[in-house]
Amino acid sequence: MKAAMDRRHFSHSLLASALVATGLLAGCSGVPDTIKIGVAQPLSGSLAELGQDLLNGVTLAVEELNKQGFKVDGKPVMLEVVSLDDKADPATGKAVAQQLVDAGVVAVIANLNSGVSIEAAPVYAAANVAQIAISTNPRYTELGFDTTLRMVANDNLQARAMGAYAAGLAGATRYAVLDEGTTYGKGLAEGAAKRLKELNKEVTVRQSFDGTTVAFDELAAQLKADKTNVVVSMLNDFQAIALLEALVKVGHTDVHLVGGDTIKTTAMIKAAGLINQISATSPVLNASEFGSGPKFVASYQERFKQPVAYGAHYSYDSTYVLAGAIRAAKSADRKKVLATLRSLEGYAPVTGTMRWDAKGEQSFGAVGIYQLRGDDWKLKSRSSNW
């Protein structure tokens, strides 16, 4: 009798152990009830508008996905945005990266500034956290980490676009290449100057200024004396305006200004008509240029009561691609999600698709050429091959 009872107790113990083990395995399935997506952007300071715009793109995508009933391996899951302010500062960005890793995010949409992205990258890499950045400095994807992924074309392509477009302008013969003294500006200016020389164009002036200079009377006189008719500029918008005003004073306005993102702003509208033509290049194409762009712009406006300021459509698309990778991986495991991201041609609702090459560069990145016409920037052309 005692032996029979012992056998029954033993059988019950085995059953209980099996049930516990099954519960533990279910708990370790890699599909939690909530999956956290990190966002690190400048949410204060002079770049707060751009950082908030990128955060808004992620927020809108997550709200839509949750409303649709997001599932992973058949399990309903809530997506949660964990956002922190990197203050456009590399040291802060590195600290924020560790905070997001410790918070358990599966991946991050970070950062706007290349210097911040580069500083934070080793932290994310050590934790196998995919870092999807809008930063454009080529060094970001040259660090050797699997985790560094870029949303848009890099500075190498933009520099080539600036140089090639400037070289092809009708009647252009003599060029000035200027920058505002930052690593970003100098890199683009040097790349554009190199492209001009490759195309046998004469660069008569190559000069760097600090980011606050607005006294350009001497430079304007020099450009007039040299008969420079194209200025390739990485000056800030307020600096470019000051330069154009100086050119007007010396009567040298038959000039074409070709700039980068630093002049493709609403502030430059006040400079329309001062010189012959103002153009800008950008790897961040306007949302309205894509087939599904107007729908996104309307949804964004309704949700946030303001227009898209910069690249919200790219962070929105990146979030959808990340969600697709989580679904495909059937897991919230960082390493599995990262591996899936790197092999996936992801569905991007606005821009169409996102795919990364072996280095983490955006396979479908392009640079647009915009002209300032009246009170707006109008797309003239765009290409991924400059």
pLDDT for 207: 97
Strand partners, 367: 383
What does the mean pLDDT of the chain come to? 92
> What's the whole-number mean pLDDT along residues 287-305?
96
**Segment 122-163, tens digit of pLDDT:** 999 999 999 999 999 999 999 999 999 999 999 999 999 999
- Reported confidence tier of residue 258, pLDDT bands at 50, 70, 90: very high
Residue 8 scores a pLDDT above 50: no
Q: What are 18-33's pLDDT values in tens digits?
A: 433 333 333 445 699 9
* Distance separating alpha carbons of residues 136 and 280, to the nearest angstrom: 16
190: DSSP letter: H
Q: Where are the domains of the chain?
A: 34-153+291-355, 156-282+368-383
List, in sequence order, every beta strand (DSSP E) within the chain. 34-41, 71-72, 75-76, 78-85, 107-110, 130-133, 148-150, 174-179, 202-208, 230-234, 256-259, 277-282, 346-348, 352-354, 367-373, 376-383
pLDDT of 30 reads 65
Condensed to tens digits (0 to 9), the pLDDT of residues 335-367 reads 999 999 999 998 999 999 999 999 999 998 999
The model's pLDDT over 49-69, given as tens digits with 9 standing for 90+, comes to 999 999 999 999 999 999 999
Look at 16 and 210; give whichever has higher pLDDT: 210
Does residue 379 sit in helix, strand or coil? strand
Q: Where are the alpha helices (DSSP H) in 127-214?
A: 155-167, 183-198
The CATH class, in words, for 156-282+368-383 is alpha beta
Tell me the whole-structure pTM to 2 decimals.
0.86
Conformation bin of residue 181: beta by default, left when phi > 0, alpha when psi is -120 to 50: left
Sign of CA dihedral 268, 270, 274, 276: positive
The reported pLDDT for the residue numbered 183 is 82
> Taking a C-beta distance cutoff of 8 angstroms, is the pair 350, 290 a contact?
yes
The CA distance from 330 to 350, in Å, is 24
Confidence class for position 10, pLDDT limits 50, 70, 90 = very low
18 or 220: whose pLDDT is higher? Answer: 220
The CATH homologous superfamily to which domain 34-153+291-355 belongs is: Response regulator (3.40.50.2300)
Residues in the chain: 386
